[in-house]
Amino acid sequence: MQPGGRWSLFVREDRLRHPAKHAADTIESGPIFGTFGGAYFAHRYSIPDVLCFDVGGTTTKASIIRNGEPVFRRGGDLVGIPVQTSFAMLRSAVLGGGSVARPDKDGQVLLGPESMGASPGPACYALGGSEATLTDALLVLGILDPKAFLGGRRPLNVELAAQAIQRKLANPLGVSVEQAAALVRDEAISIMTDLARVTLEEARLDPAAVSLFAYGGNGPLFGALLAERLGIPDVVVFNLSPVFSAFGSAISDVVHVYERGVGVDIAEPGGAGQVGDALHQLHVLAARDLSGEGFSIDQAKVEIEAEISDGAHDPISVRVEGIPNHTASRSILHAYQRQASGRGQRALVQALALKVTHPIEKYELPRLTKGEGRTPKAVSTRPITVDSEPVSAQLYHWPDLDPGSVIGGPAIVTADALTCLVPAGWRMTLDEFGNGRLAREGHGQTAGSTQ
């Protein structure tokens, strides 16, 4: 539906959380599955509201979990085309590790939207890339370990990174290589902060009342820095971070949604019959599609949503559960009448949606035996620049940590495909799922407790 009572005829569609049939279903499916993975852990941690932040090589995505469930929005633009279907509330910035940095006419740094991607990639990959990128800047600042990238299988070249930043940024701006790299880092954090703030405002959530889930290849690098800027009290980073969206896909239920425009008065006998017939037809389609995938609709949860108006006011969304038949028409009408107190007698059903959810076998991540909260031994130290001046950071290997291990910042924790920054004034505690829970020093862990 559109504001002001206008409506357009919906065509039949069936969308799966495991996209299989339509090209539209695959758009942003990876990041959306990351939100489902976030909802999985939100339940495990008893966290109601979460800002999910996925930082990859070329883009950054923000999404919302409210009351433990991903937030969806109807309507909006899809690659510039107005649509009326329902999509996960996913907001994006063209920013990632491969984003190209360049000076602007005012002596500042612009970051993106151009990206070097994975091939030839940043200059430090030594694969022919010559542009200065966010990854090159983080390497120059010491935040990335040149020997730990991809588990040490591809060492990063600090000299090539510094040369690219010197040539592309430091010389034009008249600053040192380190200063130029810091400008790139700061611009990245500013872009992420703006994206996160707008997303939270749209969802009407207070940053102080949410937790931040940071994942993707670069999410753990920026999680605490982003939370610091926004006033978010705690951050969760995941040992599955580089494949977090794939994890979300693996644990998601199968969901089909069918939508159809109607345009009849359900308060009239003839209109109620048409609504019942339309629901029956959608139910037949759902049963056929689920059967083709090896599932039975008898084991699926069936939900009906109707957009109804009296012709003078904006439509009301009515939701009921149950078998879609003529009895469902009466349930829809009664639900509308309860919500439409003071409105006219007409009940124009503008559109119907049938949602069927077939659960998959529930997967439970193994829980590790918690330790005694010991501080693990650092493998080495390295100077890093997080704010303005270099500080000595302790370096840890994620696989060496036990549940209950506590690391105080400034520190860097690396695994084969992720790097987590623990800034000064923050600490990271490894939990029983092997994930890192970050909070400011002196603050309790407010991201809920495992069940």
Spatial distance between the Cα atoms of 156 and 139, rounded to a whole number of angstroms: 8
pLDDT at position 75: 56
Read off the pLDDT of residues 250-274 as tens digits, 9 standing for 90 and up: 887 788 888 888 888 888 888 888 9
What CA–CA distance (Å, rounded) separates 71 from 141?
37
Write down the pLDDT at residue 116: 86
- pTM tops 0.95: no
DSSP 433: T
Q: What is the DSSP string of 89-127?
A: -EEEES--TTEEEEE-TTS-EEEEEEE-TTTT-SGGG-S
- What is the per-residue pLDDT for 389? 82
As a whole number of angstroms, the distance between CA 427 and CA 404 comes to 12
pLDDT score of 148: 75
pLDDT at 451: 40
pLDDT at 4: 29
Nearest residue to 413 via CA among 423, 158, 215, 95? 423
E strand or H helix that includes residue 161: helix 158-165
pLDDT at 1: 28
| Domain boundary assignment for the chain | 253-358, 380-440
- Stretches where the chain sits below pLDDT 70 are 1-31, 74-88, 151-152, 370-374, 443-451
Average pLDDT over the chain, rounded to whole? 83
- Residue (of 393, 98, 398) closest to 241 by Cα position: 398
Return the pLDDT at 87.
Answer: 64
253-358 CATH, one of 3.40.1350.10, 3.30.1490.100, 3.40.1280.10, 2.60.40.790: 3.30.1490.100
pLDDT for residue 18: 40
